[in-house]
Structure 1
């Protein structure tokens, strides 16, 4: 069993296969940001994905199973008072659909963690905001977008359109647009662009894949298209971003 953290701790993790059973002396929130995974919490099994998190109560036995590419922010909730009513609700639900405000908060912190720019002060401010966002929303049924979002994440190289997403989710294109606005606060096109850019950043920072290969594998037509996307969104280029991330990594003790 891991040592009890003195304050909230946040990490970006990927799960491959059955990780075995574990428990710890603090509550934990598992907040998927890419793909999907399965979590068994004290005998209750559920599927997690974008906009559907999990709450693991203190001392609850749990098993995480990653059967496809995935990535989650894992928040060890220590040193923070969770209101009793909220803790009871999260524990009773276990698997928590997240409204757009919570999704936006998670995505913001995910970006900071990927860039290595988050710190303890930011985390102490972010955790109460996240808990407040989770506390304000009402429980909702499992998103009809979840399986489709996971499928898109696993095949970003394909030329996805909103109509393609609608067919995969067995919904009309207009209904897909409505659900994206209601659940994610964005559009299919904007969400897809953000996920492609996020995957590109991840591989630029953590792999030696050629930039042209990364461009095609995440869905850009060619390297120049990815370069334009990064210039527009981040005012940088793939080569400059990779160099910056590697230089930053060498400075971490």
Structure 2
């Protein structure tokens, strides 16, 4: 699923019933209060212990019965595998288990703090879907969660063994998944992620280059310089100068 296939927001519903129909799927995950939801004649009261799945093309109406806030996920229909869409749509109202409830609470806090990057949302959605369908996290979900964790803190000592352990996979399975999903080795993807992180810090601020090298996971400034020369043909200082010269003038 690509970031463009998913929209996530927090909404509140008023005390006047409204009816809607759309060509994308929707998950309604209450954070506070209660919402009455009717999906093509099937009705339920949603609260932080009960969520709903609205299939693409399904008529539905909602009514807020008190102060309420819900996490809303709009998912492009082609991005949702048909078996999963059918499984969720067959029984549109879902009691949230402890794992699902914690995931919803977590993402609500992330959105409130405006700290939910697309990679984190993608990883979170995979875990949420697995928890709603009572399945153990699938290998690709595990990989997405791992990649989000590395992207958030690439400076940690991410050996291939540590990456595999974090994802709950064998080293050989981790290598196979990276080849299938990203046409790269775990180490190759890690190095590219660290380089991207370093470039972002160089372009956006004035941190010393040695500090940036450490934060991005390079052994020292010399290691970052060698890596940038090999991949970009520039030193960190030259990259920073060029990037900041190209920033829009205020």
TM-score by length of 1: 0.49
Q: Which of 1 and 2 has higher RCO (CA within 8 Å, sep 6+)?
A: 1
- Higher Cα radius of gyration: 2
TM-score (norm: length of structure 2): 0.50
